[in-house]
Structure 1
Amino acid sequence: MTEHSMVKQERAARTRDALIRSAAEVFDREGFPVASLAAISSLAGVSNGALHFHFANKAALADAVEEAALTRLLAVTDAVLPLGASRVQLLVDVTHGIAGALRGDVVLRAGFELSGEVSRVPRVDLREQWRRWVEETLEQAAAGGELRPGVAAGDAGGAVVAATVGFEVLGARDAEWLSASTVTRFWGLLLPTLVPAALLADLEVGGTHPL
């Protein structure tokens, strides 16, 4: 590959990334149904022709935003668990990580919002991806004896997903719903109903480290 070709490829990749971020910002601000390609291309600083070179239509742009958002989601949920570490603590930590990422990353935020958009079928449903991760983590916690007797992993997962997706939806209008203090208070309320008293003292509701 010639140097000229490499420069063209790099420029095309930068343009595509700029369009994805601009689409996320417009979707986040205006909502997918009313967002216009003209507004997206203008925000990205490119022509409509350049936009259509990369994306056939608004639906293709939405798919690309979702895929980029999934990469960001997996970067948080794929945290390596230290040997012997608590699965419940991992869930608490990742929940804090997701809330922080939603506050600061418009691509992730738009990806979650697109999952709830009724006017289109999502290619990547981030809320469903999150639900599966939460439920799998709680099933592993139950298998390791980290949940109270009688607490079903599925029931616990439903409560966590409902609350955290609720924080995500409400946080679109009021960032306080995605604050560390909100997530900490949620876990302070929920953990005593999920975890045996002997294990509760070892858990940090505010998270053990930034993800």
Structure 2
Amino acid sequence: MAKQERAVRTRAALIQSAAEVFTTEGYVRASLARISRQARVSSGALHFHFETKRELARAVEDEAARRLRAIAEDLPAGGAWGGALQDLVAATHGLMSRLAGDVVVRAGFELGDEPALGAKAGMRRCWQEWVEQLLARAQREGGLAEGMTPEKVAPAIITATVGFEVLGLGDDEWLSEQRIDAFWDLVLPQLTGEAV
């Protein structure tokens, strides 16, 4: 059992180290030697868990996606106005908080744009689908104002939130609670037709 626990810890350390190196040096410039050295793991141990840098990058993306899904599990149960829109606001705050404080989530988003991986915006695509699902649920719940549809609303919300994520790469202020609150203060009255 101790051997298995050590393997799990080693794998986690490699994913964490890879995320840190990928975000500071970029995927192409990152070396497996630097990743293993930073994780305090031998090169042999790294190759036991991950045969290639591409495989390690995919593991970072998978872990980031798992952490993104955990945001949904952490959503509070309904607020004063509740429902899908409350979940969307809470999820946005959760995502920005994770991007600011969790290098694995940040690296997962960045790797989605990496041409060397043949990536197609994986994490951003997950986020887009999540926003679209929550807006469809809000419409079913009657939470959207007349004339507002998920098809009309989703592009604006996705564009803004991905914009916060990209701008947050250079300035964490873009990921702050105050910045996200200001966005929703502007957008929610339009979505709901009332001051929420």
Please say whether Structure 1 and Structure 2 have the same fold, judged by a TM-score greater than 0.5: yes
Counterpart of 2:97 (choices 84, 95, 100) is 100
Query: Are the structure 2 counterparts of residues 160 and 33 from structure 1 closer, same or farther at C-alpha, using a change threshold of 3 Å?
Result: same
> Which residue does the alignment assign to 1:188?
185
> Which residue does the alignment assign to 1:26?
21
Root-mean-square deviation (CA, aligned residues, Å) is: 1.8
Query: In structure 2, what residue type is equivalent to 1:105?
Result: D
With normalisation by structure 2, the TM-score equals: 0.93
Alpha-carbon offset, residue 119 of structure 1: 2.1
Counterpart of 1:49 (choices 44, 47, 57) is 44
Does residue 1:148 correspond to 2:139, yes or no?
Answer: no
Distance, in Å, in 1 between the alignment partners of 2:118 and 2:7 is 28
Render the CA deviation track for 1:7-58: whole Å, top value 9, x for unaligned.
1111111111100000000011111111111110110011212111110010
Higher relative contact order (CA 8 A, sep 6+): 1
Alpha-carbon offset, residue 76 of structure 1: 0.3
Structure 2: unaligned runs, 5 residues or longer: none
Does residue 1:126 correspond to 2:123, yes or no?
Answer: yes
Distance, in Å, in 1 between the alignment partners of 2:166 and 2:140 is 31
Aligned residue pair count: 194
Q: Percent identity?
A: 49
Distance, in Å, in 2 between the alignment partners of 1:34 and 1:54 is 21
Render the CA deviation track for 1:170-197: whole Å, top value 9, x for unaligned.
1111100100011011111111221122
Q: Does the 8 Å CA contact 1:66/1:123 hold for their aligned counterparts?
A: no
Q: Does the 8 Å CA contact 1:101/1:108 hold for their aligned counterparts?
A: yes
Query: Are the structure 2 counterparts of residues 90 and 172 from structure 1 closer, same or farther at C-alpha, using a change threshold of 3 Å?
Result: same
Larger Rg belongs to: 1
Structure 1: unaligned runs, 5 residues or longer: 1-5, 202-211
Higher deviation after alignment, 6-15 or 77-86: 77-86
Alpha-carbon offset, residue 142 of structure 1: 1.1
Distance, in Å, in 2 between the alignment partners of 1:124 and 1:173 is 19
Distance, in Å, in 1 between the alignment partners of 2:153 and 2:120 is 27
Query: In structure 1, what residue type is equivalent to 2:96?
Result: A
Does residue 1:62 correspond to 2:54, yes or no?
Answer: no
Render the CA deviation track for 1:189-210: whole Å, top value 9, x for unaligned.
111221122xx33xxxxxxxxx
Does residue 1:157 correspond to 2:154, yes or no?
Answer: yes
